[in-house]
């Protein structure tokens, strides 16, 4: 990991008022695929921000240092959501998928079917006449 990234994260944490003293950090055994290695090393990072009570578990990478970085980054995102009432990119993506999966209203469905019917009549008029 580059030092610029960690310095940038430290600035972001400072701007949000997150101090290292307020964080409870534990390293726990990972789980999932990876065989013996994942079961032996404590690379999963558990982070708890004591003032807000936000808990984060991060096991994205095999490296403990990278997981510490990603856990702090996710903590910053969650606190921004809470404090600034700003929706994160992840939250926006979830809502977008939810809207896409939502059932159409009866009126919009009828309109869509009418448009399809109109299009099919136009296409049939394009065909050459059969003898």
The residue extents of the domains of the chain are 3-86, 94-126
Per-residue pLDDT of the chain (131 residues; tens, 9 = 90+): 788 888 999 998 888 888 989 999 999 987 777 777 777 888 899 999 999 899 999 988 888 899 999 999 999 988 888 877 777 777 788 899 999 999 889 999 999 999 999 999 999 999 888 76
Q: For residue 49, what are the CA distances in angstroms to 24, 84, 112, 117, 125?
A: 6, 17, 49, 57, 67
Instruction: Indicate yes or no: pTM above 0.75.
Output: no
Handedness of CA 69, 74, 77, 82 (dihedral sign): negative
The strands making up 44-49's β-sheet, listed across from edge to edge, are 23-28, 44-49, 54-58
Q: Which CATH class is domain 3-86?
A: alpha beta
């Amino acid at each position: 990991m580059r030092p610029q990234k960690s310095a940038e994260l430290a600035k972001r944490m400072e701007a949000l008022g997150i101090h290292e003293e307020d964080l409870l950090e534990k390293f726990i055994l990972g789980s999932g695929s990876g065989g013996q290695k994942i079961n032996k090393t404590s690379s999963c990072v558990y982070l708890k921000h004591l003032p807000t009570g936000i808990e984060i578990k991060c096991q994205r990478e095999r490296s403990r240092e990278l997981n510490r970085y990603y856990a702090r980054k996710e903590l910053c995102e969650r606190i921004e959501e809470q404090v600034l009432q700003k929706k994160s990119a992840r939250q926006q993506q979830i809502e977008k998928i939810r809207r896409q999966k939502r059932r159409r209203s009866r009126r919009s469905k009828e309109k869509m079917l009418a448009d399809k019917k109109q299009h099919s009549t136009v296409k049939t008029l394009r065909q050459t006449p059969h003898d």
